[in-house]
Amino acid sequence: MLEGKVAIVTGSGPNIGGEIARTLALHGAKVVCVDFLDDRAAVAATSINESGGEAISISADISTPMGVEDVFLATDKAFGRVDILVNNAAVNNEAGILDVEYEKWKWVQSVIMDGTMLCSQQAARRMVDQGNGGAIVNTASTTGHRGKAGFISYSASKGAVLQMTRTMAVQLAPYGIRVNSITPTQTGDSRGTTPGGSTAPRAAKPKNIPLGRWGDPSDQAQAVLYLASPMSAYVTGENINVDGGLLALFPSERDLGQT
């Protein structure tokens, strides 16, 4: 389905990003795995190459223009084009409005907002020059749709991702470049490994997810595959909630603290 396409996946760690990279590769894309931590990108690229796909890895910080330039120069050198960009890298900072530190607020914004903007800009410029469209898939969060106490930086940045998705989609539509997003809720297990993320143990079963289970990285990867492929040729500026129905649920009086 993606034969001849080149895809960049940022934040290709062992949880959602790695699974997205492997899924796109399985469907024929050549993949550029990007991560700033340890050897995470290399692990993802190696697993693709060992399964018969084609991938390279880049260790880079996508929150800075210089890091993003490294990613796209390496992509140009290896594959000479880019057709799909998945903006997946993120960090968290569990602090609310009363106690958030300015430097951490800026850090989360720089990875989620600046990283999404900088990578999208580089990808979109190349896609415009190439002249045959492209697909950008951003990663939001249920926390970007609803207020969540204690997550001011992350929720503000993820809300911005949803709005950047619509805004980029409108501008890039005349070039055949589609921009969409997915919205995961708690998925897989990155507790203790995500920079700034939670280390708290997760309950075996969720209380308020209608489908009755936590997300699996493959749930997110399948949605990205749809948005990155011609299956979604007439879809742009859209978000898919891959959240087991969480955002569809009307909060009960007990959840609202009104019992």
Per CB under 6 A, 42 contacts ligand NAD: no
123 and 136 in contact (C-beta within 8 Å)?
Answer: yes
- Of 147, 143, 5, 148, the closest CA to residue 86 belongs to 5
Tell the smallest beta-carbon distance from residue 41 to ligand NAD (Å).
8
Chosen residue from 141, 155, 181, 241 binding ligand NAD by CB under 6 A: 141
Mark 188-217 with x for binding to ligand NAD (rule: CB under 6 A) and - for no binding. x-x--xxx----------------------
Tell the smallest beta-carbon distance from residue 137 to ligand NAD (Å).
11
Chosen residue from 5, 8, 11, 179 binding ligand NAD by CB under 6 A: 11
| Separation CA 84–CA 229 (nearest Å) | 9
Tell the smallest beta-carbon distance from residue 220 to ligand NAD (Å).
7
Per CB under 6 A, 116 contacts ligand NAD: no
Q: Which residue, chain included where needed, has tokens 């040729």?
A: 233
Report 73-102 residues binding ligand NAD (CB under 6 A).
88-91
Of the candidate spans 7-15, 23-31, 98-106, 145-153, the one that interacts with ligand NAD by CB under 6 A turns out to be: 7-15
Q: Which residue, chain included where needed, has tokens 């507790």?
A: 191
Q: CA angle, 228 as apex, 226 and 230 as ends, to 5°?
A: 75
**Helical spans, DSSP H, in the chain:** 16-26, 40-50, 65-79, 102-109, 115-130, 152-172, 217-228
Q: Kindly tell me which of 88 and 122 has the beta carbon lying closer to ligand NAD.
A: 88
Q: Kindly tell me which of 195 and 206 has the beta carbon lying closer to ligand NAD.
A: 195
DSSP code string of 14-38? TTHHHHHHHHHHHTT-EEEEEESST
Q: Kindly tell me which of 175 and 226 has the beta carbon lying closer to ligand NAD.
A: 226
Residues acting as catalytic residues: 154
